[in-house]
Amino acid sequence: MPEEFEPRIIAFFCNWCTYTAADLAGVSRMKYAPTTRVVRVMCSGRIDPQFVLSAFAQGADGVLIGGCHPGDCHYIEGNYKMLRRFNLLKRMLSDMGIEKERVRLEWISASEGDRVKKVVNEMTEHIRALGPLKLPEAMAKWDVEFEEEVKEEPAHV
Amino acid sequence: MSLNPESNGKEEVRIGFFVCHCGTNIAGMIDVEEVAKYVATLPNVVVSKDYKYMCSDAGQDLIVQDIKEHRLNRIVVAACSPLLHERTFRTATMRGGINPFFCHMVNIREHGSWVHSEKASATEKAKAVARGAIGRVKFHKPLEKRKEPVEPAVMVLGGGIAGIQAALTVANSGKRVYLVERDATIGGHMAYFDKTFPTLDCAACILTPKMSEVGAHPNITLWTYSDVEQITGYVGNYKVRVKHRPRYIIEKDCVGCLDCIDHCVFKNGNTDDEFNQGLSKRKPVYIPFPQAVPKIVAIDPNACDFLAKGKCDQTCIPSCDKNAIDFTQKETFDDIKVGAIIVATGFKTFDAKRKPLYGYGKHQNVYTALEVERLVTSSGPTEGHVVLRDGRTPKSVGIVHCVGSRDHQTNRWCSRVCCMYSLKLAHLIKEHTNAEIYNFYIDMRCPGKGYEEFYERLLEEGNHFIRGRVAEVTDAAQTKDEEGKLVIRVEDTLAGFARRIPVDMVVLATGLEPREDANDVRRMFNISCSTEGFFLERHPKLAPVSTTTDGLFLAGACQGPKDIPDTVAQAGAAAAEAMALMDAGFVEMEPMTSEVDELRCSGCKTCLNMCPYSAIGRDDAKGVAVINPVLCKGCGVCVAACPSGAITQNLFEDQEIFAEIKEILAHA
């Protein structure tokens, strides 16, 4: 029996709410799964969908985005900008075959340390059930298949 | 400011990595030596060390020394949260002779050792995030903080004891203060009180001199009946628009003679008197209480026949020999510029009707504590006679503690003041009526100077204390003794059985809550709040009056329940913070602003609508977007939106973040 799969989740947390909430979870010694690697940004509105794609392409099993609650953004409305991008991104990812459980947007305010714990644990469980994404390996395989296809059928000029 | 002229961020990258044990806080759960060993193998890392306490002087000196000795030009510190010590390590980096923004922090304590319970995986996580930082820091550029002058004026929002104290402290230092109060007078909740615990000194005697001082202070502009309409700007340079609601009185002409009140067409009050908690009536033209500051009457547009119905003889107008009554008044506005803002918007008391079993609003002899405060006051509706609504003097009184506090069905927190004010009311009611007093408490919480002694005094005075949360207040009598009385049903947890205590009067010690419009206030001022709705301080211990918005400070119960001494102390602290900001004369702005690369900008205007601060304009001659660094607050929304990748945000550049993601994931 192989060792239990430990997902790797890239977590983009906004400085003012979710990052602070994660600090609070720490100060309160709440225990959660060691699966997230936090990338701090000032605002969830800074998160370029390409960051998410890049994370998956480099081997992340999941991406968690944390921002302030609607109406509470430190920069007035950056979280709404993120929400719009996220809805588009989610559709695109599902078209690409990346399960919806692998990407999650959560509004977590600075006082909700327990919510960080809950969300990370939940997401870890969901992804564990799905298994590793292994996108880099898949992409390498696709590259080989593509090369072969090109060899077999030279492009029409 | 050019910290290191020879560094342009383009020379060979030499990284120093420092991982902190934080005693056993980190080292107990993360193998820091292994992390240091691992990072030493990464490219460009010249030095990789672990140390017991990196934030100590010795730890900082280690960074300074190593920068000099090994010609380091990038520093990564893996320790606690950057929100705690980023400044410390940036300063150390600067002392070493390189630009402070070449330093980056990795959080392996709050996000690492403290939240994990398995050493191997916690260590792996620490290695991954450390590698991410090593990857990103290569791309860091030297940055400079911009200096902006500070407007030497403060706005204080809320004129309770917190706002009064803060305003006076700042004003006494010679700075201009704008005190904005929503009600017709300043004074807040403290003005309702008869005595203050534990010394029993008269609340009015200590409050009203301060109120008059505010009214007369040459440095204080007092605006009552006013609200903040809009706020823009940033630390040191806030622009505030204040709305003055019409009080239908020309404020500068009113001398406070109160003749108009006598001449109102209503011979008796027609409206619940808010100041007496609705225990008496007032007229449409009124002054909240005799010592109100400013001592100017106001006309209540809902109660006044002329304003509400358009029909009235307007007998008040000729009664004023100053011609100060003006029914044509409209809202007016003032625009002010201030360097700092102190928010002191206070609290509201718990609505006792939310605990229906306690019978408030159903049984007429159930009172809230605030109502009883008015009953024991000589300036109150009964002139200090504690009498029931039918005029009888109660012979027995039950005080129910923790109404709406420490209760999972309502508010979970302890309101901190109720035990003490209940003791105070017990003492005062006994003094006024010689009634038997029963206190129903869960725990007596009397921490404070002289508080426990006051509790002892109450015990000695022969008050009854019954430990247990009250289940119900009912008028359903079971015995002859209970007839015509209110029966308090409680489990006496010390005696170990259920009891029924018949009393004439029930006092509900209602807890403290955030104000109903606290959410609007915090959104306008961009303050975070805790789960229960009180405004959130930047750090519970080390920055208790600051908020995450620079230049915005908190005072009093808007931050959490507190008594008068704590409120006054906190207001002083908020004033000191505001004064420190102004006396510095300038503020340093974080350099995380965004810039447009003109060569890559296609002039599509996508970013223009993205910016919530209107910091982006368009240079029509060049056909490119231009960001005003003074207005830019550094959120980076425009960067993510730019389809040409023409905008970069300092410290959060695309290449920095992409490198961080890549390197984190490169660690297997």
A1 within domain boundaries: no
Residue in B closest to A79 by C-alpha: B637
Give the pLDDT score at B8: 57
Residues of chain B with CATH 3.40.50: 15-145
Minimal C-alpha gap between A146 and chain B (Å):
25
- Contact call for B636 and A30, based on CB within 8 A: no
Check: pTM over 0.80? Answer yes or no: yes
Tell me the sheet residues that pair with A24: none
pLDDT surpassing 60 at residue A2: no
- Contact call for A75 and B635, based on CB within 8 A: yes
Tell me the sheet residues that pair with B18: B49, B77
B402 vs B310: CA distance, rounded Å: 46
Domain count within chain A:
1
Give the residue from A42, A47, A52, A56 with the most B CB atoms within 10 Å of its CB, the best one to mutate.
A42
Q: Tell me if A33 sits within 8 A of B118, measured CB to CB.
A: no
Q: Is B594-649 CATH 3.30.70.20?
A: yes
A4 within domain boundaries: no
pLDDT surpassing 70 at residue A154: no
Q: Which residue has the tokens 């009611």?
A: B429
Residues of chain B with CATH 3.30.70.20: 594-649
Give the residue from B110, B520, B608 with the most A CB atoms within 10 Å of its CB, the best one to mutate.
B110
ipTM reported for the complex surpasses 0.90: yes
Intra-chain end-to-end CA distance of chain A, in Å: 52
- Phi/psi region, residue B289 (left: phi>0; alpha: psi -120 to 50; beta: rest), is beta
> Residue type for A132, please?
P
- Which of B84, B637, B665 is the closest to A45 by Cβ? B637
Q: What are B596-634's pLDDT values in tens digits?
A: 999 999 999 999 999 988 899 999 999 999 999 888 999
Give the pLDDT score at B631: 86
Minimal C-alpha gap between A157 and chain B (Å):
31
Surface of B (38-97) touching A: CB under 8 A: 81-84
What does pLDDT average to over chain B? 95
A17 vs B294: CA distance, rounded Å: 40
> Residue type for B265, please?
V
Give the pLDDT score at B354: 97
Half-sphere exposure of B425 (CA within 13 A, CB side): 30
Q: Is B348-513 CATH 3.40.50.2300?
A: no
B660 contacts in chain A (CB < 8 Å): 39
> What b-and-e string marks burial along B626-662, b requiring 16 or more CB atoms within 10 Å of the CB?
ebeeebbbbbbbbbbbbebebbbbbbbbbebbbbbbb
Max distance between CA atoms of chain A, in angstroms, equals: 65
B330 vs B71: CA distance, rounded Å: 68
B450 vs B199: CA distance, rounded Å: 8
B438 vs B465: CA distance, rounded Å: 6
Collapsing DSSP to helix, strand or coil, B659 comes out as helix
Surface of B (230-269) touching A: CB under 8 A: none
Token output for B25: 């806080």
Give the pLDDT score at B528: 84
Residues of chain B with CATH 3.50.50.60: 348-513
A43 contacts in chain B (CB < 8 Å): 635-637
A157 within domain boundaries: no
Minimal C-alpha gap between B69 and chain A (Å):
31
CB neighbours of residue B412 within 10 Å: 11
Q: Which residue, among B438, B443, B395, has the nearest Cα to B419 in the 3D structure?
A: B443
A40 within domain boundaries: yes
A3 within domain boundaries: no
Residues of chain B under the 50 pLDDT cut? 1-5
- Contact call for B117 and A31, based on CB within 8 A: yes
Minimal C-alpha gap between A145 and chain B (Å):
25
> What b-and-e string marks burial along B89-113, b requiring 16 or more CB atoms within 10 Å of the CB?
bbbbbbebbbbbbbbbbbbbbbbbb
Q: Domain of residue A119: give its range.
A: 9-152
Residue A37: CATH number of its domain: 3.40.50
Give the pLDDT score at B7: 55
Interface size, chain A vs chain B, as Cβ–Cβ contacts under 8 Å: 148
- Phi/psi region, residue A20 (left: phi>0; alpha: psi -120 to 50; beta: rest), is alpha
A114 contacts in chain B (CB < 8 Å): none
Q: Is B15-145 CATH 3.30.1490?
A: no
Q: What are A67-89's pLDDT values in tens digits?
A: 999 988 999 899 999 999 999 99
